[in-house]
Amino acid sequence: MTKIRIAVQKSGRLNEDSLRLLKDCGVSIDNGKDQLKASARNFPLEVFYLRNGDIPQYLRDGVVDIAILGENTLIEKGQDLKIVERLGFSKCKVSLAIPKNENYKGIEDFKGKRIATSYPNTVKTFLADKGIEADLHIINGSVEIAPNIGLADAICDIVSSGSTLFKNNLKEVEVMLRSEAVLTVSPTISSEAKEILERLQFRIRSVQKGRESKYVLLNAPDEKLKDIISILPGMRSPTVLPLAEKGWSSVHSVISKDKFWEIIDELKAAGAEGILVCPIEKMVV
Ligand SMILES: Nc1ncnc2c1ncn2[C@@H]1O[C@H](COP(=O)(O)OP(=O)(O)OP(=O)(O)O)[C@@H](O)[C@H]1O
Ligand SMILES: O=P(O)(O)OC[C@H]1O[C@H](OP(=O)(O)OP(=O)(O)O)[C@H](O)[C@@H]1O
Ligand SMILES: [Mg+2]
């Protein structure tokens, strides 16, 4: 029986959320410590635990069919690989930063400067586009230390909270790109594996929709139902059930997490009472 082979980062920033997503999709993986390969018990899938930076080549070579990667890694090393799903976690930027006490006038300041980075292709393309030539120093980790030890004048690295820059007395001056985890696919994927991929994507979308939504239940006097219903979007329209107490109804609906507090305020103002909010595990649409 065909199994889809998925590459997941062995350890690091993407590992935990990638495995959680598979778990939420109902894929159970026996996770022996230090295993490099593991099979799912209840879905035709095999996980390969690999170094992030190696995954684009494994996809090209057809060693794995799909992978969870940071979009930034694809921009750096896998422009030819197709993204089939955006996964919404590991959001970060790839930015240029310089020592905090230096005055920044604009991108021309990078002309002839030594830039330490693990993302040489991304920096080269970004600067070439603006007609700037700089001297790149490729290092694999702890990039932010480079200006402090005299190895470089500036850096290009991942920025999320900004605390690593702060701790190293650096400031972000150019955001080159924004990234999140994505599901990407090998150009050599077989049609059988593609079918499994479609089943997995269907589950991923259901999990994501669930994560983006909340289930809301509330009580309302019947004369205020019309106003309350007009506030609630719902998958089709809200469910309305009579309460034991005459003249009152219970209203159930699904609302987006983004608009959550706004809608709750409006519901309260429209006369809703006893509002309950529950998480949604999956939403199949
Ligand atoms: N601070 C962060 N906040 C959010 N996402 C991040 C952060 N740092 C890295 N990422 C994302 O997680 C991915 C993996 O980063 P991580 O530092 O764990 O691995 P790596 O050192 O790039 O790779 P390797 O697995 O080859 O050691 C990055 O490509 C990026 O997409
Ligand atoms: O803006 P922040 O929230 O501080 O995050 C940014 C830092 O996170 C990543 O490093 P990581 O912690 O993964 O360590 P690494 O250098 O060993 O990859 C990245 O390389 C930055 O150094
Ligand atoms: Mg890192």
DSSP element (H, E) containing 227:
helix 225-231
Residues 102, 162, 74, 135, Cα dihedral to 10°: 20
Task: Give residue 78's pLDDT.
Answer: 86
The CATH architecture of the domain made up of 213-279 is 2-Layer Sandwich (3.30)
Decide whether any atom of ligand 2 lies within 6 Å of the 162 Cβ. yes
In angstroms, what is the span from residue 195 Cα to ligand 1's centroid?
29
End-to-end Cα, the chain, rounded Å: 29
Task: Give residue 16's pLDDT.
Answer: 95
- Which sequence spans correspond to the domains of the chain? 4-89+180-210, 92-179, 213-279
Decide whether any atom of ligand 2 lies within 6 Å of the 94 Cβ. no
In angstroms, what is the span from residue 164 Cα to ligand 2's centroid?
7
In angstroms, what is the span from residue 76 Cα to ligand 1's centroid?
13
DSSP designation for 25: T
In angstroms, what is the span from residue 192 Cα to ligand 1's centroid?
31
Q: Which atom of ligand 1 is nearest to the CA of 13?
A: 18
In angstroms, what is the span from residue 142 Cα to ligand 3's centroid?
8
Mutate which of 10, 52, 94, 164 for ligand 2 pocket (most atoms within 8 A of beta carbon): 164
Residues 6+ apart with CB under 8 A from 239: 251, 252, 253
Q: Are 104 and 82 in contact (CB under 8 A)?
A: no
CATH topology of domain 4-89+180-210: D-Maltodextrin-Binding Protein; domain 2 (3.40.190)
Residues 6+ apart with CB under 8 A from 48: 5, 6, 7, 8, 36, 37, 58, 63, 64
Task: Give residue 235's pLDDT.
Answer: 61
Task: Give residue 33's pLDDT.
Answer: 65
Decide whether any atom of ligand 2 lies within 6 Å of the 142 Cβ. yes
Decide whether any atom of ligand 2 lies within 6 Å of the 234 Cβ. no
In angstroms, what is the span from residue 12 Cα to ligand 3's centroid?
7
- The residue whose CA is least distant from atom 23 of ligand 1 is 52
Residues 6+ apart with CB under 8 A from 158: 72, 92, 93, 94, 95, 179
- The residue whose CA is least distant from atom 4 of ligand 1 is 90
Reading the chain (285 residues) residue by residue, the pLDDT tens digits are 899 999 999 999 999 999 999 999 999 998 766 789 999 999 999 999 999 999 999 999 999 999 999 999 999 998 899 999 999 999 999 999 999 999 999 999 999 999 999 999 999 999 999 999 999 999 999 999 999 999 999 999 999 999 999 999 999 999 999 999 999 999 999 999 999 999 999 999 999 999 999 999 999 999 999 999 999 876 677 899 999 999 999 999 999 888 889 999 999 999 999 999 999 999 987
The reply to whether 92-179 shares the fold of 4-89+180-210 is yes
In angstroms, what is the span from residue 79 Cα to ligand 1's centroid?
18
- The residue whose CA is least distant from atom 3 of ligand 1 is 160
- CATH class of segment(s) 92-179: alpha beta
State how far Cα 43 lies from the chain centre: 23
Q: Which atom of ligand 1 is nearest to the CA of 180?
A: 31
pTM for the predicted model, two decimal places: 0.90
Q: Which atom of ligand 2 is nearest to the CA of 118?
A: 20
In angstroms, what is the span from residue 141 Cα to ligand 3's centroid?
7
